[in-house]
């Protein structure tokens, strides 16, 4: 296998934290921030990012141990004001307390409880067979065609179809929903106006508001019916909570995993010796999946609000301040990983933070791992050679990181 | 319950027995009488207006306050977010004033008021879009809601759409 070209050379970012504006979505798509993060981890482990464009400033945590500590401490930090930069620095998330990921305490346990079964290993068994079949089918189509845009034709389809199957979104609606969800927290266009993201979000909320009403009998087998039916009624789940949680599931289920799948295939393309080892059966799919999650870290950061004064490395973070924890940095922290800057598909000790940790640990972790593994195995079993047929393209976002275009030439075994 | 006045007034103290109302603060701003009602539990402004009316208190504007820790700041924010009251004239304006007041739980919405400055967030915009479709037969694109925060502008668009149909 030959590698024609590498991913577009990213510009090297300046070392000083003051020279990088983490709010700017174009920064994350344009610069290779690895030396910046290495510098920040070493010299500014608790750093205050100043206010930009009239938004509130926020604390930046970059070391693996500090990121994990925030995820695991339920008392010092809350998600109820919001859990991403944009919502928090613009004054708080209106879904606070009404969406699982933005709810803490007793209510969080109640809502998580009624969702857990669907996303458990046993709950996903039947869907897993469908996903593996779909992955084999989509890759066979690409091999038949001699290639295609892997991000669009494969990586996008698997998570989108799976989460839509779970929610019971009809087939005919899925392309439109995908178009909307892909511009809610990221964009293909660096100049996409703020209003477009708001409008996309509003149409998705409207869609699920109508779907929830349509499923009001609660008799269906899909997750929306489950939420509006007895399970939701037992805990007094409001219509607003149903809609906000559907929004969260379609975003979490559809957007992050496609970044991991595309980024994983690109990493194998750039490390042909590891691809060869995988094909020879020397690397377990499970290990490769974890390394892809670490390497791609599609959720670049998450954020919390301090519920009291918290001291980290001697620095006081006052009650009410916003703290951001950066998975893209913690997952490259040499304090936690051997050869952290190397992609190593056979990595054994891999405590990455790509799925978070603690009470808000990714609800869809089994589903994400299942989807990535299904694509990797179908790809391994059918593909002989593959190479880049054009430039991979990164999305513009300060939250979601990865590529949405991966043109490949592919030939079968 | 305590009635507190920042400007002198002569209103009877008849609200003693209402268990969920902790305090009513009445203040005069530019000749308008504004009431801030501090409640124990969320209550509809339309209901509170009736309660105050029973005590012969008929403020020009009424706000519900649930958490008094930042009452002073809240009062400033509330007043800053309100446009000068302009009464609705067309049926569509009257319809929207009632709809917004209900969705946002804001008293006496005027045609110069802005949906987002009154606290309108995404989900409330969804409910507004659904209500307008139900009552007026027009599903407004999200863009129209986003670009036309001012009530008068939105009313004009609804009337224009209806005329075009």
Q: 3-state SS of B15-53?
A: CCCCCCEEEEEEEEECCEEEEEEEECCCCCHHHHHHHHH
B143 touches chain A (CB under 8 A): yes
Contact (CB<8Å) B130/A206 = yes
| The pLDDT of residue B7 | 39
Tell me the pLDDT band of A13, cut-offs 50, 70 and 90. low
Considering only A59-63, A298-302, A376-380, B142-146, which range has the smallest mean pLDDT? Answer: B142-146
DSSP for B85-151? P----SHHHHHHHHHHHHHHT-SS--TT-BTTTTT--HHHHHHHHHHHHHHHS----HHHHHH--BH
| The pLDDT of residue B1 | 43
Q: Which residue has the higher pLDDT, B32 or A63?
A: A63
Q: Please name the residues in contact with A47: beta carbons below 8 A apart, sequence gap of 6 or more.
A: A17, A40, A59, A60, A62
- Name the residue among A199, A201, A209 with its Cβ closest to that of B130: A209
Tell me the pLDDT band of A282, cut-offs 50, 70 and 90. very high
pLDDT > 90 fraction of chain A, expressed in percent and rounded:
82
Rounded alpha-carbon distances, angstroms, from residue A240 to A244, A249, B50, B134, B135: 6, 14, 28, 19, 21
Q: Among A196, A199, A246, which would you mutate to test the B interface (most chain B Cβ atoms within 10 Å of its Cβ)?
A: A199
Tell me the pLDDT band of A265, cut-offs 50, 70 and 90. very high
- Name the residue among A195, A210, A240 with its Cβ closest to that of B123: A240
Instruction: Specify whether the CB–CB gap between A400 and A296 falls below 8 A.
Output: no
Residues of chain A with a CB closer than 8 angstroms to some CB in chain B: 94-95, 195, 198-203, 205-206, 209-210, 240, 243-244
For the cut 70, the answer to whether the pLDDT of residue B75 exceeds it is: no
pLDDT > 70 fraction of chain A, expressed in percent and rounded:
96
Q: Nearest Cα to A199, choosing from B133, B129, B147, B143?
A: B143
Q: Please name the residues in contact with A268: beta carbons below 8 A apart, sequence gap of 6 or more.
A: A274, A275, A278, A345
CA angle A286, A292, A294 (to 5 degrees): 105
Q: Among A86, A198, A251, which would you mutate to test the B interface (most chain B Cβ atoms within 10 Å of its Cβ)?
A: A198
Structure tokens at A10: 């990213």
Query: A174 exposed, middle or buried (CB, 10 Å; 0-12, 13-18, 19+)?
Result: middle
For the cut 70, the answer to whether the pLDDT of residue A46 exceeds it is: yes
Our measurement of the distance from residue B89's CA atom to the centroid of its chain's CA atoms, rounded to an integer in Å, reads 17
pLDDT tens per residue across span B108-137: 899 999 998 888 888 999 999 999 999 999
For the cut 90, the answer to whether the pLDDT of residue A264 exceeds it is: yes
φ, ψ of residue A317 to 5 degrees: the values are -100, 110
Considering only A144-148, B49-53, B147-151, which range has the smallest mean pLDDT? Answer: B49-53
Q: Please name the residues in contact with A184: beta carbons below 8 A apart, sequence gap of 6 or more.
A: A197, A200, A201, A204, A251, A255
What 8-state DSSP symbol labels residue A220?
Answer: S
| The pLDDT of residue A190 | 83
pTM score above 0.90: no
Strand partners, A147: A409
Q: Among A86, A92, A94, which would you mutate to test the B interface (most chain B Cβ atoms within 10 Å of its Cβ)?
A: A94
Find the closest chain B residue to A213 by CA distance. B130
What 8-state DSSP symbol labels residue A308?
Answer: S
Q: Which residue has the higher pLDDT, B55 or B100?
A: B100
Q: Nearest Cα to A381, choosing from A131, A129, A136?
A: A136
Instruction: Specify whether the CB–CB gap between B144 and B157 falls below 8 A.
Output: yes
What 8-state DSSP symbol labels residue A172?
Answer: G
Average pLDDT over residues A365-376: 98
In angstroms, the separation between the Cα of residue B126 and the nearest Cα of chain A is: 5
Considering only A217-221, A300-304, A319-323, which range has the smallest mean pLDDT? Answer: A217-221
What 8-state DSSP symbol labels residue A99?
Answer: S
Q: Nearest Cα to A48, choosing from A35, A57, A39?
A: A57
Strand partners, A388: A408
For the cut 50, the answer to whether the pLDDT of residue A2 exceeds it is: no
B121 touches chain A (CB under 8 A): yes
Average pLDDT over residues A199-207: 95
DSSP for A101-138? GG--HHHHHHHHHHHHTTTSTTTTHHHHHHHHHHHHHH
| The pLDDT of residue A299 | 97
Average pLDDT over residues A351-362: 97
Q: Nearest Cα to B136, choosing from B162, B99, B164, B104?
A: B162
| The pLDDT of residue A320 | 94
Contact (CB<8Å) A209/B121 = no
Cα gap B64→B66, rounded to integer Å: 7
Cα gap A253→A370, rounded to integer Å: 12
Q: Which residues of B touch A202 (CB under 8 A)?
A: 122, 125-126, 129, 142, 145-146
For the cut 90, the answer to whether the pLDDT of residue A15 exceeds it is: no
| The pLDDT of residue A8 | 42
For the cut 80, the answer to whether the pLDDT of residue B14 exceeds it is: no
Structure tokens at B11: 């209103």
Count of other CB atoms within 10 angstroms of residue B65:
18
- Three-state DSSP class for residue A92: coil
pLDDT tens per residue across span A75-95: 999 999 999 998 898 878 888
Our measurement of the distance from residue A225's CA atom to the centroid of its chain's CA atoms, rounded to an integer in Å, reads 25
Instruction: Specify whether the CB–CB gap between A372 and A130 falls below 8 A.
Output: no
| The pLDDT of residue B12 | 39
Cα gap A256→A247, rounded to integer Å: 14
Helix axes A174-181, A194-214, angle to 10 degrees: 140
Tell me the pLDDT band of A110, cut-offs 50, 70 and 90. very high
Average pLDDT over residues A54-58: 90
Buried b (16+ CB within 10 A) or exposed e, A12-36: ebeeebeebebbbbebbbbbebbeb
Strand partners, A53: none
Q: Nearest Cα to A161, choosing from A144, A148, A178, A146?
A: A178
Q: Among A183, A206, A207, A212, which would you mutate to test the B interface (most chain B Cβ atoms within 10 Å of its Cβ)?
A: A206
- Name the residue among A195, A200, A206 with its Cβ closest to that of B126: A206
| The pLDDT of residue B69 | 60
Cα gap A248→A228, rounded to integer Å: 16
Total beta-carbon pairs less than 8 A apart between chain A and chain B: 40
Tell me the pLDDT band of B82, cut-offs 50, 70 and 90. confident
- Name the residue among A195, A202, A210 with its Cβ closest to that of B122: A202
Cα gap A148→A162, rounded to integer Å: 21
The enclosing H or E element of A233 equals helix A230-234
């Amino acid at each position: 296998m030959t590698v024609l070209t590498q991913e577009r050379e990213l510009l090297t970012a300046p070392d000083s934290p003051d020279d990088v504006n983490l709010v700017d979505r174009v920064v994350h798509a344009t610069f290779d921030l690895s030396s910046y993060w290495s510098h920040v981890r070493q010299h500014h482990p608790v750093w205050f990012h100043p206010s930009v464009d009239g938004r509130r400033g926020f604390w930046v945590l970059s070391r693996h141990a500090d990121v994990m500590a925030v995820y695991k401490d339920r008392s010092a930090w809350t998600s109820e004001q919001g859990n991403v930069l944009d919502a928090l620095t613009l004054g708080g998330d209106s879904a606070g307390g009404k969406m699982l990921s933005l709810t803490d305490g007793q209510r969080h346990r109640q809502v998580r409880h009624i969702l857990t079964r669907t996303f458990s290993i046993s709950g996903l068994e039947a869907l897993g067979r469908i996903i593996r079949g779909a992955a084999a089918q989509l890759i066979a189509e690409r091999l038949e065609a001699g290639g295609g845009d892997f991000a669009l034709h494969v990586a996008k389809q698997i998570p989108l179809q799976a989460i839509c199957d779970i929610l019971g979104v009809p087939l005919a609606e899925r392309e439109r929903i995908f178009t909307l969800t892909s511009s809610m927290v990221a964009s293909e266009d660096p100049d996409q106006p703020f209003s477009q993201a708001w409008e996309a979000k509003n149409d998705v909320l409207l869609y699920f508001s109508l779907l929830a009403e349509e499923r009001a009998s609660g008799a269906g087998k899909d997750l929306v019916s489950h939420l509006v039916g007895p399970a939701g009624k037992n805990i007094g789940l409001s219509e607003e909570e149903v809609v906000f949680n559907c929004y969260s599931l379609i975003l979490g289920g559809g957007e992050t995993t496609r970044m991991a799948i595309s980024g994983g295939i690109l990493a194998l393309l750039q490390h042909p010796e590891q691809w060869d080892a995988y094909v020879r059966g020397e690397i377990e799919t499970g290990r490769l999946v974890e390394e892809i999650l670490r390497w791609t870290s599609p959720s670049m950061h998450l954020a919390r609000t301090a519920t009291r004064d918290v001291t980290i490395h001697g620095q006081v973070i006052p009650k009410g301040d916003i703290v951001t924890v950066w998975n893209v940095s913690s997952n490259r922290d040499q304090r936690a990983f051997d050869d952290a800057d190397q992609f190593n598909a056979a990595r054994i000790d891999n405590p990455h933070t790509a799925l978070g940790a603690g009470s808000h640990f990714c609800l869809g972790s089994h589903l994400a791992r299942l989807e990535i593994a299904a694509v990797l195995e179908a790809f391994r079993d059918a593909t002989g050679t593959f190479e880049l047929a054009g430039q991979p393209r990164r999305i513009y976002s300060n939250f979601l990181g990865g590529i949405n275009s991966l043109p490949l030439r592919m030939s079968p075994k | 319950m305590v009635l507190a006045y920042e400007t002198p007034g002569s209103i009877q103290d008849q609200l003693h027995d209402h268990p969920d109302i902790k305090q009513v603060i009445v203040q005069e701003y530019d000749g308008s009488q504004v009431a801030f009602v501090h409640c124990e539990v969320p209550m509809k402004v339309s209901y509170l207006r009736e309660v105050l009316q029973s005590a012969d208190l008929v403020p020009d504007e009424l706000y519900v306050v649930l958490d008094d820790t930042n009452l002073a700041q809240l009062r400033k924010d509330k007043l800053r977010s309100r446009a000068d009251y302009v009464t609705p004239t067309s049926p569509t304006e009257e319809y929207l004033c009632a709809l917004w007041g209900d969705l946002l739980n804001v008293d006496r919405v005027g045609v110069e008021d802005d949906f987002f400055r009154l606290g309108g967030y995404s989900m409330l915009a969804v409910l507004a879009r659904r209500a307008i479709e139900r009552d007026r037969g027009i599903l407004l694109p999200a863009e129209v809601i986003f670009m036309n925060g001012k009530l008068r502008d939105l009313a004009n668009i609804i009337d224009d759409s209806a005329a075009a149909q």
